[in-house]
Structure 1
Amino acid sequence: MSYYERVSADTYRPTQHVQGAWNDHEQHMSPVAGLITHAIDGHAHNPTVQMSRISFEILGLIPLADTTVVVETIRPGRTIELIEATAIIEDRPRIRARAWRLAISDDVADVAGVELPGMAGGPAQGAPYDPLTEWKGGFLASIETVALPGGRSGRRQVWARTPHPVVADESVSPTAAAIALVDLANGIATRVRPTDMMFPNVDLTIHLIRQPEPSWVGLDTSVSFGTNGLGLTSTTLSDESGPFGRAEQALTVRHFPR
């Protein structure tokens, strides 16, 4: 089963694999981020540019219901484009995303270099890690995760993959497939248990230095809480060839309503 099924040109129906971790009736941000990326990939396709950054603003709870993704070009260009997508559910905008697409340059390999830290080992060096020991939901039940040795509260390295396509019967780019796993980061190195406090992210911003390879996504994640209710989940993103980008998530840290 896929995460979504297309029901019209721009509308998709989520399956139970999309179910969120905080509430049974919401979508997890990870698969819907992959869906939005897939919609952006299909908009005004230009083979001379590639996605460099995508940012998602989460405007509230994301209902587990039919999702319409409207995409438009904000800044057209031959070498630099800015694309905006809005996910509309139950007649309300729920997520707004903007993506920079920058020119592909095939003559800069001689200056390439990566300073991002790599994972401490590959998926084969990890031990099975079950996020359902802390969380719930159909999305977390749908993925395979392994954790590398040395993890602790607030800091952990996890490899993740899924056998399920983002959209049924549709080819999805490796970038969209990888982004469909990135929002996992805020749940793999928790500083406090999600049954004790709330710390949802209100955004997800991903910067890429290259397009990822299919299969495993490595999340080298640290979680920091300030003293006044603000938090930050920071992640280096890797595939089995090494780091391919960074992700940041702004958190609102607070106690459950009394």
Structure 2
Amino acid sequence: MIEKSTPDPSHDRAFYRLRDRSAAGRETVDTLPWAAGPWSPEAQHGGPPAALLGRAVESVGGGVVGRFTMELHGPVPVGPLATSTTVLRPGRSVQLVGAELYDVGRDRVVASARAWVFPASEAGPARPTPPVHGPEDGKVHPRPTAWHGGYLDAVEWRWVVGSVEEAGPGVVWMRPPDLVEGEPITPLQRLLACVDSASGVSAALDVRRWTFLNTELTVHVLRPPVGEWVCLDAETTLGPGSVGVATAAVHDRRGLVARSSQALLVAPR
């Protein structure tokens, strides 16, 4: 299937600008305002940091990521950040790669990731089944005026089921901008820039009365997504206490790409 692209106003946007790269592989970036989350212009949405850590994992080279886990150690500031990467478990078939994200201003780790890297292959037994809808079938809903723009304005959204203000499961097609200014976004980076939104896409509680913050993101990747659009079919399940779980089946136009989950801290405001 050939994907037909429509003009994308977000193509002149990016989440980060590369500042420098050391001989040891450590990179420093400046965070651009488009990475800010909905609650504050000073704290990032989880998607851009996840994609930046994915970019660090990709810098090791070779293979495809089969599982990616990000731990959020606290709010990620909209400011200078640095990444470092380590091969934790080398191997001829699979390897485990670790990456860390540093707040340069305070010299502390704000997020970390672990990724299992598998051999690249197209000889597997399964073939994806295309979804029954595409981004052209979705609707554009304006974001709540009380929410900060940033990430919400940088990403294109096409809602098939639900909206950010409608409680319950949601299905949305997303098209993010480039991750680093002047550098084409990779399929893995595009996927990771989107999947952290599952908890918001499927919000099960009134955001005016409850907070539901994710502490981690786990993504099992069946294959890299193809094309500019990623679809989240998301649902949030609440426990009787402070724990919730947001899950999503992730598709592109060809079919299933990944499954994601997030552990949520649920608390009254």
TM-score between the two structures when normalised by the length of structure 2: 0.86
Comparing both structures, which one devotes a greater share of its residues to strand?
Answer: 2
* Match runs of 1:117-156 below 5 Å: 119-132=131-144, 135-149=147-161, 153-156=167-170
Segment of structure 1 superposing worse, 127-136 or 60-69 = 127-136
Kindly indicate whether the alpha-carbon contact (under 8 Å) linking 1:131 and 1:187 is maintained by their aligned counterparts in 2: no
Amino acid at match of 2:168: G
- State how far apart, in whole Å, the 2-side matches of 1:72 and 1:246 are: 25
Match of 2:257 in 1: 244
* Structure 1 residue 60, shift from structure 2 partner: 0.8
Match of 1:4 among 13, 16, 20: 16
| Structure 1: 5+ residue stretches without partners | none
Correspondence 1:234 to 2:250: no
- State how far apart, in whole Å, the 1-side matches of 2:162 and 2:84 are: 43
* Structure 1 residue 129, shift from structure 2 partner: 2.7
Correspondence 1:177 to 2:190: yes
**Inter-CA distance 197–149: structure 2 relative to 1 (3 Å threshold):** closer
Match of 1:195 in 2: 208
* 3-state SS in 1 of match to 2:34: helix
Amino acid at match of 2:133: G
- State how far apart, in whole Å, the 2-side matches of 1:185 and 1:19 are: 17
Kindly indicate whether the alpha-carbon contact (under 8 Å) linking 2:140 and 2:158 is maintained by their aligned counterparts in 1: yes
Match of 1:41 among 46, 58, 74: 58
Segment of structure 1 superposing worse, 198-207 or 150-159 = 150-159
| Structure 2: 5+ residue stretches without partners | 1-12, 22-26
* Structure 1 residue 77, shift from structure 2 partner: 1.1
**Inter-CA distance 122–31: structure 2 relative to 1 (3 Å threshold):** same
Root-mean-square deviation over aligned CA pairs: 1.8
* Structure 1 residue 104, shift from structure 2 partner: 2.5
Kindly indicate whether the alpha-carbon contact (under 8 Å) linking 1:19 and 1:27 is maintained by their aligned counterparts in 2: yes
Kindly indicate whether the alpha-carbon contact (under 8 Å) linking 2:17 and 2:180 is maintained by their aligned counterparts in 1: yes
TM-score between the two structures when normalised by the length of structure 1: 0.90
* Structure 1 residue 185, shift from structure 2 partner: 1.3
* Structure 1 residue 14, shift from structure 2 partner: 0.6
The size of the alignment, in residue pairs, is 248
* 3-state SS in 2 of match to 1:141: helix
Match of 2:88 among 65, 74, 84: 74
- State how far apart, in whole Å, the 2-side matches of 1:106 and 1:24 are: 42
Cα-to-partner distance string for 1:226-246 (whole Å, 9 max, x where unaligned)? 111110101000011111110
Percent identity, aligned pairs only, is: 28
Kindly indicate whether the alpha-carbon contact (under 8 Å) linking 2:38 and 2:148 is maintained by their aligned counterparts in 1: yes
* 3-state SS in 1 of match to 2:20: coil
* Structure 1 residue 86, shift from structure 2 partner: 0.5
